[in-house]
Amino acid sequence: MEAWDDPLLFSDAYRRFLDSAKTERAVVAKVLAAAKAEGFLSAIEQAELKGGDRVYFENRAKNVVLAVIGKRPLHEGFRLIAAHADSPRLDLKPNPLQDEGGYILLKTQYYGGVKKYQWAGIPLALYGVVFLADGRKVDISIGDGEEDPVFSIPDLLPHLSEKIQNDRPSKETLKGEELRIVFGCSDSGALKDEILSKLKKEYGITEDDFVSAELQAVPAGRSREVGLDRNLIGAYGQDDRAGVFTAVEAIFSLGREVVPEHTALCFIVDKEEVGSAGSTGLESRYLEVIVGELLDRTGHSCNDLMLRRALWNSRALSADVTVGFDPVFKAVHDEQNAARLGRGIVLTKYFGGKGKMHSNDADAEYLNEIRRLFLREGVRFQFAVFGQVDEGGGATVSRFLANLGIRTVDAGPAVLGMHSPFELSSKDDIFQTYRGFKAFFLEVP
């Protein structure tokens, strides 16, 4: 891939990515396919690696790591950008089918921080995998094809909501157990049998197979340009597929002939929206496994001391979106320290809440390294905090990288409507994020 120099073409490619990768499995599959087309080879199949080699690691269909081996030995440090592929959504329960009142409903469990009422009354698509009793995997994708049906969660009409719903706090306007998706409707009296027969005929799925499935309901429909000036992008899942796309394109843009000073790593992680736990989240030891494998294949001793040195001497950007200033709810922002859409990539020294709890707090020396780099390369950037003190807070994967001794700062575009089914970002911010990530992979002064 040649380096991008047209922000409009870049935003078009970004939108196509968002439209085709609405789950973490789809993101990983798409990134892997693109990496292979760019000449990346399986690292596990390579006995030795040298400067300029381009390899990938894949973990359980939920993680992918792209690496371009640098000139310097790995124990002198690497350059890492980590972005998460998961986004808030509705997961189907292991036994999801409910037959009641002439409807087949799907029971769900929301994933990540959502305002539950936002998921009612919109078209939903269903994505995921189902593993059958005989071991076969069935891929499910229903709702985004032109002729596909969609699904939806009905909300209570305002005419009858006075007593049962209107006095609820907003976070319970719809309760978790009320997030039930209409999957079918009939007065035949045998609707469940009809639905199961259709599932068996079209996909080979029985009701028992749902227990070995990962099925997600996500907003149906494609990304759109927003505003009369078309400067914004509206889409589901920009948190943090904006980070994924820009980081992946940045490592691709190094070119096959480029050997970076330090090894460049692009790590696509999972489970960030639920605390990064699990074997595919960044709280796992997978990064240490990767660094150990690279040490071994680049001819260096892979003992605990060398692994710790490689981590301690490294630099990272935690690629993630941040909150953009919202003039409607400006009371939650510190306007002097708020990120604005259209002003470039945002560097966030700390997230967290209640006194910076659960936050990486980047040191001033490292912040200045990144600042000088972006100034030298002409990358438009801004510094911001998440909101007013004690207004709330959040966290990213940066703290897990910092816990390993890696100097880390959060970096990414600002968005409006974060965690909603239709988030807004600036085309230019997305492009500046890509430019910042590319500069980071090439050199940190």
CA 272 vs CA 181, 278, 351: distances in Å: 25, 10, 14
Q: What is the pTM of this model?
A: 0.96
pLDDT at 166 (0 to 100)? 95
pLDDT at position 3 is 73
Amino acid at 366: Y
Mean pLDDT value across the chain:
95
Whether 131 has a pLDDT exceeding 90, the answer reads yes
Task: Report, as an integer, the average pLDDT of 152-166.
Answer: 96
377: left (phi over 0), alpha (psi -120 to 50) or beta: alpha
Tell me if the bond preceding 240 is cis, omega within 30° of 0.
Answer: yes
Report the C-alpha dihedral over residues 293, 299, 302, 306, rounded to 10 degrees. Answer: -110
pLDDT at site 256 = 85
- Which is it for strands 423-426 and 414-416: parallel, antiparallel or unpaired? antiparallel
Task: List, in order of start, the domains of the chain with CATH numbers.
Answer: 7-87+236-442 (3.40.630.10), 89-219 (2.30.250.10)
Q: Which two tokens stand for residue 347?
A: 């560097």
Model confidence pLDDT, tens digit, residues 174-210 = 999 999 999 999 888 899 999 999 999 999 999 999 9
Q: Measured between alpha carbons, how far is 177 from 379 in angstroms, rounded to an integer? A: 46
Q: 230-261: per-residue pLDDT in tens? A: 999 999 999 999 999 999 999 999 988 889 99
Per-residue confidence band for 354, with pLDDT thresholds at 50, 70 and 90: confident
Handedness of CA 318, 62, 264, 247 (dihedral sign): negative
> Region 348-375: what's the mean pLDDT?
91
Instruction: Give percent of the chain with pLDDT exceeding 70.
Output: 99
444: pLDDT strictly greater than 80:
no
List, for residues 52-89, the tens digit of each pLDDT value.
999 999 999 999 999 999 999 999 999 999 999 999 99
Q: Mean pLDDT across the stretch 250-275? A: 95
